[in-house]
Structure 1
């Protein structure tokens, strides 16, 4: 018996365009490229819009200001990586454009895979994982930095 491509588990066909978009948004990390992940907190998405890069990725990044590009869903966002401060390497305020354009919220997670790294340019491929935190727990979230994590009892 020939199986119909529209079974109970597949109610609508996926177009090539939709499939291509899905593969751009989510992929298996190879382990060969450096990456880091962040669960977004107040400081990442509110008026401060701070994105300090974790210590584990810093050794492979330049120690100077460098143009950076975030790619997600076939689009690109241009930012500046601020690497001159040895204790606080971060992305500049242009991070806000990425946050706003992708409707990021507290509790969402981003995985940043380093595709290109030189003194002239950094390129990160980003995966966004939605993690809606129920509104009744928002008051319990401290999580303004990696030193002050989100704690839910």
Structure 2
């Protein structure tokens, strides 16, 4: 996911693109993000109009120095417990994935099978 102004809402929560949220339940759940040998518990709100990461996302974003224009690659490591490995791409998102002209990220994440 590419982090752009409309997606990174005051760094406290992040709206999840449609194709990614289809992997998640339509209810609030806790999930685990692992990055650089550290883990964070993040609450996914799947029952809201805007499906998003809320509680715990701000801490993850701050501790990983996320900035507008960075990207995150999420790899589902454990479907049952909703554990994701995350790789942070510091400003390394190809232009075909982001729309620089209007400042919005694509609602279609890159899915790697």
The answer as to 2:79 corresponding to 1:117 is yes
Match of 1:98 among 43, 48, 60: 60
- Mark the runs of 5 or more structure 2 residues left unpaired by the alignment: 93-99, 108-113
Distance between the aligned counterparts of 1:71 and 1:77, measured in 2? 7
1:4-153 residue pairs with structure 2 within 5 A? Answer: 38-45=1-8, 47=10, 49-85=12-48, 87-118=49-80, 121-131=81-91, 142-143=102-103, 146=106
More strand by share: 2
Structure 1: give runs of 5+ residues left out of the alignment. Answer: 1-37, 133-139, 148-153
Question: Structure 2: how far apart are the matches of 1:124 and 1:117?
Answer: 9
SS in 1 for 2:25: coil
Are the equivalent residues in 2 in contact too, given 1:43–1:144 (CA < 8 A)? yes
- 1:16 corresponds to which residue? none
TM-score (normalizing by structure 1): 0.55
